[in-house]
Structure 1
Amino acid sequence: MKHFLKDIIFIIIGALFYALAVNMLIIPNNFADGGLTGMSILLHYVFGWSTGIVNFILAAIILAIGYTVLPKRNIILTTITATLISLFLYITENNIEPLADPLVSAIFAGFFSGIGAGLIFRTGSSMGGTSVIARMFHHNLGWDLTRTNFVLDAAVVLAGLFFIGTLNTMYTIILLFIGKKATDLVMEGLDPRKAVSVISTHATEITDVVINNLDTSATVFKGYGGYMKQDADMSYIIISKYQLMRLKRLIYSVDEKAFVVIHDVRDVTGGSFAWEKKRGRK
């Protein structure tokens, strides 16, 4: 129950951010957007219809058709999200003058809408539009989920060419790019981690040095080098990106021939990191 209430708070804040970005920056500057809200915006430009009301009707139709292919928790959260976005779009509708600089408007529209979307996605919810349609195609026809979702969003944006012109469509692409980066920022946090795999005959020594100098944990996996035909264990280390250069120096101080592979990590929970967070609060 506690986690559900936290998710609802995130959805409320995210939906408000997103709706304000649409009504204060996107629509006044005649930009478009992807997904269900993008369709609502285009219909607003053509017929003058309320984006909030249109968004609610379209979301209701899509969710009614696709509820069977979504997990129960996801359908509940998505229904709440679509309703709140539609409500906030409706109550914040106003005739706002566009900013003098459309590029600045596109950047900040992308930033605020991306922050809102990121808060919503963190809960496991969705915006209730093209992602649901893509899931239906995936469930019934076996289409790739990510590609289908991209094609649907791209189709909505490209449709804007006929209503907002080429220049504003270009601004919309900038908006969407900034929005994607802002969403990633919310999803991944301000301190993304790196996973470092170190293959070395001195893996145990490397692990000891890392633990003693970087105050983090490391795991050693037993392995065998297929090329060298000899034992070569692997150390697996999760670390902050700001410690990466120091880590590499420590590794090569033990074994200058170590094979090091570095991966981006989207999320880290439990283990020594849970202990680090506890210690940081004390």
Structure 2
Amino acid sequence: MTKKITVVQRVKNIVLMGIGSVIAAAGLDVFLVPNNIIDGGVVGISIMASYLTGWSLSAFLVLLNLPFLYLGYTQIGKTFAFSTLFSIISLAFWVGVFTPIPEVTNDLFLAAVFGGITIGVGIGIIIRHGGCTDGTEMIAILLDKRTSFSIGEIIMFFNLFILTAAGFIFSWDKAMYSLVTYFVAFKVIDITLRGLDESKAVYIISDQMEEIRDALMARLGRGVTILHATGGYSKEEKPVLYCVVTRLEVAKLKSIVSEWDETAFVTISDVHEVMGGRFKKKAIH
């Protein structure tokens, strides 16, 4: 049964990575390439190389990623490398298929924004299901383990040079629009990975612990965990309530806590993903 589920999951991932490639390729061919606007990373380098040489963009997408694929295979793992290889080849294939499609707009701002949205959705789907379309992300992952810089900082450093090169090759206006595309795509990828309905982790410290716990369970329908903590100053044992709610339930949770204890200490933080347990999205009543 486990093996069957694993095979089904792999097939699902491959299909969804293929769908993500179609969406990203459409964003490139319909919005960015016709207007000489680039995205960051190897995709951006490929667009500039294709413009300068007249060679196929699809060919550059594959060729420029090959060294990074080898690094991914040797340093990260073969599953990741093969998923990435499939994503890159699929993206290159669909870029070639969509190339004859005429541009939708020649308004540079609209092209930058909608190109960023389309590419962000496509690449976000690919990453969410185990693939990757950009070799600079692999370099960032490897350098992150060996330096004090984060993956995001390393990718931003690479893209600073790539977008500067776009200013010399196309124009500085195009480079600035490319920067808009990059930031829009970055944010949309983040939304695609996390989802619009983010969950929140909540910690509550109050003298009315039992009343708040019962109210949260009854009125929000959420499970609540009691953690045992010790006050750093008072050295007293104090229970801490912990629960996970959806973004839309935060206001109601704060209202419930305030009803019982206006001086309660509450901290709320983002949760990127929730698995297992009895957590389910519920409607607010």
The alignment's TM-score, normalised by the length of structure 2, stands at 0.90
Report the residue type matching 2:168 in the other structure. Answer: F
Q: 1:70 aligns with which of 70, 76, 80?
A: 76
Contact 1:223–1:234 at 8 Å: present in 2 too?
A: yes
- Give the distance between the partners of 1:180 and 1:224, measured in 2 at CA: 41
- Give the distance between the partners of 1:44 and 1:82, measured in 2 at CA: 16
- Give the distance between the partners of 1:182 and 1:239, measured in 2 at CA: 23
What is the Cα deviation at residue 136 of structure 1? 4.2
Q: 1:144 aligns with which of 119, 143, 149?
A: 149
- Give the distance between the partners of 1:13 and 1:160, measured in 2 at CA: 29
Mark the runs of 5 or more structure 2 residues left unpaired by the alignment: 1-6
Are 1:17 and 2:13 counterparts? no
Q: Which residue of 1 aligns with 2:275?
A: 269
What is the Cα deviation at residue 137 of structure 1? 3.9
Distance 1:254 1:12, change over 3 A: same
Distance 1:176 1:128, change over 3 A: closer
Residue aligned with 1:271, SS:
coil
Root mean square deviation of aligned Cα:
2.0
Residue aligned with 1:196, SS:
strand
Contact 1:78–1:127 at 8 Å: present in 2 too?
A: yes
- Give the distance between the partners of 2:253 and 2:89, measured in 1 at CA: 48
What is the Cα deviation at residue 254 of structure 1? 1.6
Q: 1:209 aligns with which of 202, 215, 232?
A: 215
Distance 1:6 1:66, change over 3 A: closer
The number of residue pairs the alignment matches comes to 276
**Alignment identity in percent?**
29
- Give the distance between the partners of 1:35 and 1:95, measured in 2 at CA: 24
- Give the distance between the partners of 1:197 and 1:17, measured in 2 at CA: 40
- Give the distance between the partners of 2:20 and 2:84, measured in 1 at CA: 13
Contact 1:204–1:220 at 8 Å: present in 2 too?
A: no
Deviations 1:35-65 (A, max 9, x none): 1111100111212221101111112232124
Contact 1:63–1:128 at 8 Å: present in 2 too?
A: no
What is the Cα deviation at residue 90 of structure 1? 1.9
Distance 1:135 1:266, change over 3 A: closer
- Give the distance between the partners of 2:263 and 2:150, measured in 1 at CA: 42
Q: 1:246 aligns with which of 242, 245, 252?
A: 252
Mark the runs of 5 or more structure 1 residues left unpaired by the alignment: none
Distance 1:229 1:133, change over 3 A: closer
Which structure 1 residue ranges, 4+ long, deviate > 4 Å from structure 2? Answer: none
What is the Cα deviation at residue 143 of structure 1? 6.1
